[in-house]
Structure 1
């Protein structure tokens, strides 16, 4: 008769102790590799690895695999659910991150390098990034639920390890990417397509002077070009979307993300190793494992300042358990449980795609005071260190040139033993960019393209008061040609008196005023309604009439209304003419507009720079509602 394996193993108390020691060893090893503990790295890592090895052997000997696998299931399952939900909360944002990875110089360069395949590319997947984003989110949440309830563990454990190997590879790539190195890239340009043919001509011309560009082959139909390029390093893996930035204040560093995935991979391996002895939870086990998982999920929800994961996880886990318990021939199993959880995820994702993320972690979230978020960066702190190399051992020492230690060492005098090598700048406190970069958020318009709609805006009128400044009209004595310049630009070196005659004092265009910006206006205006569109070509026209209605009523009420877009001047003019639109329109960087809202269009209500409301086209309020609920005194 086959013996039923229990979580106790040969000795419940000893296996509990070994599990604690194993996790403690894992924690110490991870801490040892963190930059903050570099001084004690050897100590932490040595103790951690010894504890892990000893406790792992003891767990196998005392048949405690099931116990550590159960602990791992609770930890991994909880993290997968929360991590998947955070991505599912903003699937468009996650798809943007995937697009970064799919760029030719990003993840693809690593494949080119490792397998010697210069023609390899992932760019095809850019157009499918959103679909892949949704699939990854759903798979992550479904895996988390199944791991906790113990469903289909043979298949799930395989999928879990494969998923974690992929994520670990991704974060390893991110943490080790060096933008200074070069890789060989091979591109094929079609001579049939006019745009590609032009690019091919440019590359062939460049190859004549640039040794990094080589023409491999040329036919009547295509040109193959091999080029040395620098990688496009992704600095943020996107593991928790914008959640960590919006709640903790910063994202995980690439190295921290890598170690997070290494830890999860290690725990997944324990689950994989015990796959044959893990059975679906019985009622008693569910009453233990589910509450513990919910406590972990609640802790993570507290970290991310978002408690929806607790509600969703409870619904998803109980839905999975109920589906399994009904014992229906077709869906009363763990496949049915997975389908039910996937359906719940799908409903949630459809909702956020239609109405924007349920929890907005971005700097332009409702309630945020935008001016403050342009000043919350940190320039960082750096230390210049002198590096000396030992001529016998090759060991290196770093010294602060102004420190007492350096002066006492007199190492510069020990020329037979030490040699000065270089000076390095060591990061003491990392530089942190402000949440809103004023270079990225600066809605503006060239003066030459201003229409009557923009010119009626008080903020524009104030800036144009300085449009004309005092100037001089000069005449070339030889050619009789007249030249108008600003008075401040006049000097005898450029315009010698024997060549030029001053004819008159006039008003000229201010050369320093070529654009008008409304950023300051948006940050200080008592009331303003802004519609953002990242691309007018993709503007959802179903909501244009509602927006025009809000604009017309805002104008009557004396409340400024502006449209900020990521399109060019010609496209703006064509859009206004086609749709008979008469509102002030300004241009901003399209990437930043994606940050402001995933929707196109999105309506934002500001009061003195504070976001009072933000709405997608599918949830546009009426002007009367905006006035009574958001703009009333």
Structure 2
């Protein structure tokens, strides 16, 4: 019975750690964004600049620990490492859930979004299983005792996890779980269907009794139900607050608003363009790769001159900063503005390129993998 329980715990924990590490390694930049949220919560913003590097190391660590547990190698060190990791993540998820500081832990990336309490519950189960493994570590049997095979398998797993993380970081996620993936119809993902249940809000009043000085907070429903409004001693103080009590239907894309420098909304015009248009995404011009911007700018110029392709650059920088950057780089493209959050989801690169047509994402590229003008022409524009 104990052997069966030990094998189950070993396989379950090992597979889950490998799966969790691979899912996050598929999108290390996205995991880095999530770590930046935690760094802000714990007041260690100085780590934000190396968040992606830390993210890659954590992914590799998870994959390697999970694989070594399955192999049964170095059981004392591996179970100790697993225990340290799960205690750390259980603490993080508890803080997220209890204090509502991070709405999604990012445990399984964007593939399986979990609420903070779901994530905390998952970590509690893992904690119990890992404690069991730690107490019974001497009963874990390795698949081989040969030192050469052990070192070789360890090296293979380490090399694979490092190379995989580096590849997805320098290109794009192999599996895209975000709403802006290739083939997505952006206008459809932004719509709220007819009959969908809207958000339910409650109006909260701050009341003060002029005679006694007593104060109370009351919802609009209770305000009417109790008929407290008939008592002239009670008066509403300040501005009533609107409180969300039940979330309604949420479209896949709900936070995208593209505007020009004056604030005019161009979202519909750009997203629903019936022709090919190149969207260059550089959410932060201060950290963007300028050599890549120059090459993409030349590509956009050729596309416009020869095929009348509209090219725009989207950024979250201020109009003043964008104008200075445009002059410095001699940009040909139009510049529009959007919040950094949707821009980070569009392309996991700074800069990245999206090819849209009639609202559909035809393709997108990391700046390291943007095709040449000739390749784009042959595949898309010249048809």
TM-score over 0.5 (shorter chain):
yes
Corresponding pairs, count: 340
How far residue 592 of structure 1 moved from its aligned partner, in angstroms, is: 2.0
- Asked whether 1:174 is paired with 2:96, we answer yes
Partner of 1:269: 131
Q: Which residue of 1 aligns with 2:218?
A: none
CA–CA separation in structure 2 for the residues paired with 1:380 and 1:253: 21
Aligned residue for 1:144, secondary structure, equals helix
1:77 to 14, 29, 41: 14
Q: What SS does the aligned partner of 2:181 have?
A: coil
Any residues of structure 2 matched to 1:38-117 within 5 Å, and which? Answer: 64=2, 66-103=3-40, 106=41, 108=42
Show CA shifts across 1:340-378 (max 9, x none): 312211111111111121111111111100011112696
Q: In the aligned structure 1, how far is the partner of 2:177 from the partner of 2:340?
A: 19
SS in structure 2 of the partner of residue 586 of structure 1: strand
Q: Structure 1, unaligned stretches of length 5 or more?
A: 1-14, 16-63, 109-120, 179-232, 245-250, 283-323, 385-400, 402-424, 448-514
Alpha-carbon distance, 1:618 to partner: 0.8
Distance of 1:532 and 1:125 partners within structure 2: 24
User: Counterpart of 2:102 in 1: which secondary structure?
Assistant: coil
Contact 2:301–2:332 under 8 Å retained in 1:
no
In 2: Cα distance, 1:518 partner to 1:626 partner? 26
Counterpart CA distance in 1 for 2:374 and 2:93 is 49
Shift of 1:541: 2.0
Instruction: Specify whether residues 165 and 383 from structure 1 end up closer, same or farther in structure 2 by C-alpha distance, changes over 3 A only.
Output: same
Report the Cα offset of residue 632 of structure 1: 6.0
Q: Is the 8 A contact 1:164 1:264 kept in 2?
A: yes
Taking structure 2 as the reference length, the TM-score comes to 0.82
By relative contact order (CA 8 Å, sep 6+), the higher-ranking structure is 2
CA contact (8 A) 1:522 1:606 kept: no
Which consecutive residues of structure 2, in runs of 5 or more, have no partner in the other structure? 203-220, 222-242
Secondary structure of the equivalent of 1:276?
A: helix
**C-alpha separation in 2, matches of 1:579 and 1:426:** 45
1:372 alignment counterpart = 188
Instruction: Report the aligned-residue RMSD.
Output: 2.5
Please say if 1:333 is aligned against 2:195: no
Shift of 1:380: 6.0
- Structure 2 partner of 1:133: 55
Give the counterpart of 1:145 among 64, 67, 70: 67
Other-structure match for 2:260: 445
Give the 3 Å change call, closer, same or farther, for CA 536–382 of structure 1 in structure 2: closer
1:435 counterpart (249, 252, 260): 252
Counterpart CA distance in 2 for 1:376 and 1:260 is 32
Q: How does 1:246-325 map to 2 (within 5 A)?
A: 251-281=113-143
For 1:143, what is the secondary structure of its paired residue? helix
Q: Any conservation in 2 of the 1:68–1:270 contact (CA below 8 Å)?
A: no
Pairing 1:342-361 to 2, within 5 Å after superposition: 342-361=158-177
Looking at structure 1, the residues matched to 362 and 68 of structure 2 have their Cα atoms a distance apart, in angstroms, of 41
1:536-569 residue CA offsets vs partner (Å, 9 max, x unmatched): 2222122234323322222221221111122222
CA drift at 1:161 = 1.6
Answering whether residue 109 of structure 2 is matched by residue 241 of structure 1, we say yes
1:268 deviates by 1.2
CA contact (8 A) 1:369 1:610 kept: yes
| Residue of structure 2 equivalent to 1:554 | 303
1:479-504 deviation digits (Å, cap 9, x = unpaired): xxxxxxxxxxxxxxxxxxxxxxxxxx
1:536–1:567 contact (8 Å) kept in structure 2? yes
Residues 161-202 of structure 1 deviation map (CA, whole Å, 9 limit, x = unaligned)? 221111111111111115xxxxxxxxxxxxxxxxxxxxxxxx
Q: Cα offset for 1:259? A: 1.1
Q: In the alignment, which of 515, 518, 522 is matched to residue 266 of structure 2?
A: 518
CA contact 1:91–1:134 (8 Å) conserved in 2? yes
Render the CA deviation track for 1:462-484: whole Å, top value 9, x for unaligned.
xxxxxxxxxxxxxxxxxxxxxxx
The reply on whether 1:628 has 2:371 as its aligned counterpart is no
Contact residue 72 and residue 267 of structure 1 kept, 8 A: yes
Q: Is the 8 A contact 1:566 1:587 kept in 2?
A: yes
Structure with max Cα Rg: 1
CA displacement, residues 127-170 of structure 1 (integer Å, 9 cap, x when unaligned): 33222211111110001101111111111111112211111111
1:434–1:581 distance in 2 versus 1, CA, 3 Å: same
**What is the Cα deviation at residue 579 of structure 1?**
2.3
CA distance 1:380–1:354, shift in 2 (3 Å): same
CA distance in 1, matches of 2:198, 2:5: 42
Q: Tell me: CA distance 1:545–1:101, structure 2 relative to 1, closer, same or farther (3 Å).
A: closer
- Separation in 2 of the partners of 1:381 and 1:544? 41
